[in-house]
Amino acid sequence: MSITLARVELFHIAMPLLTPFETSFGVTTERRTVLVKAITRDGIVGWGEWAGDGPGYSYETEHTAWHILKDYVIPLAFRAPFEDPREATQRFRFVRGHHIAKAALEAALWDIAAQQAGMSLAAYLSSCTGHPVRSRVPVGVSIGLQPTPEALVERVAGFLAQGYQRIKIKIKPGRDVADAVAVRRAFPRVPLMVDANSAYTLADAAIFKQMDELELLMIEQPLGYDDIFDHSRLQPQLKTPICLDESIHSPDHARAAIALGACRIINIKQGRSGGLAHALAIHDLCAAASVPVWCGGMLESGIGRALNVAMAALPNFTLPGDLSASNRYYAEDLIDPPFTLEPDGTLRVPQQPGLGVCVVEQRVRRATLRHLAIEAGAV
Ligand code: MG
């Protein structure tokens, strides 16, 4: 069945976070993003969420996303029907970069295609790829920098009590080894990892060698945000696997990183990768190279989270993802019911058609700073 879009709406929204989130690039107190609502000629509604952050994370911001979607991606989407959401990659290729913006509209197409097929997105991905999918996915929690190592240990204890299966702590220069040692001492057997968000250089190798003694699951993105080569110099010096996150923008980047030995694990973010089709390709080439993957998070609302959970149901997502429950970040999610953590530290993969979650438009409108509706034929 083909997808003919009749209207696309953009919502620039702001959602207050329950607690501020600090990483090596700054403190976030509210999440600002752009939601895409795409409506087909026969009335099917699909949703997508721009999974980015501020310019400290990527050149893409909520404002560039608005511009690129409004002026380029949406007009391209109206140009002809889509026979398959995987055509979006090629259709939007004219726009170089701006992966997260393109992925937001592509996400809505996947939601629509799965609804047309009468399948949950996870089941639809299974039918597209031939892979089996799980009905629950293991989740970990990502914890921002805390004022002291003691405060961090306390926060970790709280999340473990909630049932999270894996703890990730953010680090930055001056707040690294001592924090990791404190958590490891307090919880000797907990699956633990650190995320540097590109805050170090190869000259800091000694810091990571100290962490090698802590039996971490992985060290995420220690070096430059667009680097692969220096990571390939660091990885052989460490027992601990390096996981690349920010550096992987496409299947080609993943292929290069694996061939160079720059990492042993990849964090797949479908937005940063240029959409779900690219993410599926990265999943498959990692599986072929015995490189496990996991699903990263961008503090998504339930809309982006539903897409992530469906993707993480694929078989090479063998490590717990940053797929926390709705109440990890938000007092009130945009979807109903919210994602909740199961007692065994998993999230249920939605089983209803499409994203499989109900978007509460009243809440979307309450969070909206700016709204735009573009009709096919108007561009
Ligand atoms: Mg990361």
Active site residue 269: yes
Of how many residues is the chain composed? 379
What average pLDDT score do residues 117-135 get?
98
Active site residue 37: no
The share of the chain scoring above pLDDT 90, in percent, equals: 92
CATH code (residue 34): 3.30.390.10
Task: pLDDT band for 205, please (50, 70, 90 cuts).
Answer: very high
Tell me: do 89 and 113 sit in the same domain: yes
Res 379: pLDDT: 74
Tell me: do 217 and 323 sit in the same domain: yes
Res 26: pLDDT: 79
Å from CA of 41 to ligand 1 middle:
39
Res 378: pLDDT: 82
Indicate which residue of 37, 102, 168, 269 is catalytic: 269
Task: pLDDT band for 335, please (50, 70, 90 cuts).
Answer: very high
Of 19-23, 125-129, 257-261, 301-305, least confident by mean pLDDT is 19-23
Tell me: do 92 and 221 sit in the same domain: no
Domain range enclosing 249? 127-348
Task: pLDDT band for 22, please (50, 70, 90 cuts).
Answer: confident
Query: From CA 309, how far away is CA 202, in angstroms rounded?
Result: 34
Tell me: do 148 and 293 sit in the same domain: yes
What average pLDDT score do residues 98-108 get?
98
Question: Is 93 a residue whose pLDDT tops 90?
Answer: yes
CATH code (residue 283): 3.20.20.120
Res 60: pLDDT: 97
Å from CA of 48 to ligand 1 middle:
21
Residue 227 belongs to some domain of the structure: yes
**SS3 per-residue string spanning the chain:** CCECEEEEEEEEEEEEEEEEEEECCEEEEEEEEEEEEEEECCCCEEEEECCCCCCCCCCCCHHHHHHHHHHHHHHHHHCCCECCCCHHHHHHHHCCCCHHHHHHHHHHHHHHHHHHCCCEHHHHHHHHHCCCCCCEEEECEEECCCCCHHHHHHHHHHHHHHCCCCEEEECECCECHHHHHHHHHHCCCCCEEEECCCCCCHHHHHHHHHHHHHCCCCEECCCCCCCCHHHHHHHHHCCCCEEECCCCCCHHHHHHHHHHCCCCEEEECCCCCCCHHHHHHHHHHHHHCCCCEEECCCCCCHHHHHHHHHHHCCCCCCCCECCCCHHHCCCCCCEECCCCCCCCCEEECCCCCECCCEECHHHHHHHEEEEEEEECCCC
Residue 51 belongs to some domain of the structure: yes
Å from CA of 2 to ligand 1 middle:
36
What average pLDDT score do residues 232-252 get?
97
Q: Structural domain tally of the chain?
A: 2
Å from CA of 235 to ligand 1 middle:
17
Tell me: do 198 and 279 sit in the same domain: yes
Tell me: do 173 and 280 sit in the same domain: yes
Tell me: do 283 and 158 sit in the same domain: yes
Å from CA of 88 to ligand 1 middle:
26
Average pLDDT, the chain: 96
Tell me: do 107 and 131 sit in the same domain: no
The CB-side HSE value for 333 (13 A sphere, CA atoms) comes to 23
Tell me how crowded residue 93 is: count the other CB atoms within 10 A of its CB.
11
Tell me: do 92 and 182 sit in the same domain: no
Question: Is 196 a residue whose pLDDT tops 80?
Answer: yes
Tell me: do 95 and 161 sit in the same domain: no
Res 203: pLDDT: 98
Which residues have CB under 8 Å from 213's CB, separation 6+?
none
Tell me: do 156 and 23 sit in the same domain: no
Task: pLDDT band for 132, please (50, 70, 90 cuts).
Answer: very high
Task: pLDDT band for 249, please (50, 70, 90 cuts).
Answer: very high
Res 1: pLDDT: 86
Tell me: do 202 and 315 sit in the same domain: yes
Residue 92 belongs to some domain of the structure: yes
Indicate which residue of 37, 102, 168, 170 is catalytic: 170
Residue 192 belongs to some domain of the structure: yes
What average pLDDT score do residues 147-165 get?
94
What average pLDDT score do residues 146-162 get?
95
Residue 355 belongs to some domain of the structure: no
Question: Is 25 a residue whose pLDDT tops 80?
Answer: no
pLDDT in tens, 348-370: 999 999 999 999 999 999 999 99
